[in-house]
Amino acid sequence: MTRDSWKASRRAAIQGLALACVSLTVAAVMPASAKPMSVVRSFPMVNQIMEGRATSFSIRFDGPVAHGSARLTLVTPEGSRSLRARLGGEPNTLFIAVGDLRPGNYELRWQVRAMDGQRSDGVIPFSVSAR
């Protein structure tokens, strides 16, 4: 083996070792469940047409969420308003008090943090019919 080929082999081995170390570090830092939270069930459901007497909404996820850090926004025909999830509910479900809604198209925008720190967000569009 010549001196140049020995250097090239050594350089390739060091680069391979460095790549393996980076891969192991990323695998150790990334949680095994690094997938976004998914909505399992919601009320209202996506594109549901409902009566305006809805006094609460619920969003059930496929894992526990941090209720206190959940961000919820109701986009109404008149504008938008922030909502608060009820604390102390089921670990994987957000319950939200809303009150009466006028006829029109709405969006319930949500952002949650899973217990492993992973953030997820989404939108639930729905409509309220005239009575």
The tens digit of pLDDT for each residue in 34-73 reads 567 889 999 999 999 988 776 789 999 999 999 989 999 9
Considering the chain, what percentage of its residues have pLDDT values greater than 70?
72
Query: What pLDDT does 9 receive?
Result: 59
Q: Which CATH class is domain 39-128?
A: mainly beta
* pLDDT score of 119: 92
Report the alpha-carbon distance of residue 77 to residue 105 in Å, rounded. Answer: 7
In this structure, are residues 64 and 91 in contact, taking their beta carbons and an 8 Å threshold? yes
Q: Is the pLDDT of residue 90 over 80?
A: yes
Q: Cβ–Cβ contacts within 10 Å for residue 128, how many?
A: 22
Rounded mean pLDDT of the chain? 80
Encoding tokens for residue 33? 């469940």
List strands edge to edge, sheet with 71-76. 48-50, 119-128, 104-113, 71-76, 79-83
Confidence band (pLDDT; 50, 70, 90) for 18? very low
pLDDT band (50, 70, 90) for residue 16: very low
pTM greater than the 0.85 cutoff: no
Taking only the tens place, the pLDDT of each residue in 69-87 is 999 999 999 999 999 998 8
Question: What average pLDDT does this structure show over 23-28?
Answer: 40
